[in-house]
Amino acid sequence: MRFLSACAVVCCSALSAQDAPKPEFSPVPLTSAQIAVYRAFLADYNKGSKGKHNLADTTDSFQPDKDNFTGCMKDFSRSSKSLKVHNLTQALGEDPNAHLVDGDGYKVKDVGEWMEKGQTLDTAVDSAVSAGLLTLSEVVFDKTRHHAAFHYALSCGRLCGNGGTVVYVLSNGKWRRSKQSCVSWIS
């Protein structure tokens, strides 16, 4: 049942994303704190990977679900959201954990496409994940600017992906992922 629910979320999200108008680009550049949060996440997310992830060059807007404010984002103002987006190319430049790609034009290969090329299921899944597209939303901060939250999603085919809302905490000058549980999904 969880699997079907996750699939429904992914399918509905994909349909609503196609119908939604494109968000506006922010005239204000990303802050050094936002960039540091992205870099900390990319380093965490890339641990154990064989190479860089394909990262969409434009952020998504961030409009957290109300359930986040009673959970992992309980220290954030309920108005914490960002409707504008940024281009990550200048902000991240050459990141050791990400290969920036045109998120709008990038075509994700499904696991089945890899299997048609003769790969086993396990190898096809690995190939799909490696060739998948990682997207990041805008980063928002709590009032103290010691907690940062955003959404991520990895799309690697029709039934291949993961994502969720994450919170990072500033500790001793470094951003570290919070242990608080947030909304997440996997398919």
- Structure confidence by residue, pLDDT tens digits, 155-177: 999 889 999 999 999 999 999 99
pLDDT band at 20; cut points 50, 70, 90: low
Look at residue 21 in the predicted model and tell me its pLDDT: 73
Q: What is the tens place of the pLDDT at every residue in 80-134?
A: 999 999 999 999 988 899 999 999 999 998 899 999 999 999 999 989 988 999 9
HSE (side-chain half, CA atoms, 13 Å) at 17: 13
The answer to whether residues 41 and 168 touch, using CB atoms and an 8 Å cutoff, is: yes
Look at residue 18 in the predicted model and tell me its pLDDT: 56
pLDDT higher than 80, residue 5: no
Q: Distance between CA 48 and CA 46 in Å, rounded?
A: 6
Q: Report the candidate in 145, 154, 151 with the shortest Cα–Cα distance to residue 175.
A: 145
Q: Distance between CA 121 and CA 144 in Å, rounded?
A: 47
HSE (side-chain half, CA atoms, 13 Å) at 84: 9
The pTM score is 0.85
pLDDT higher than 70, residue 19: no
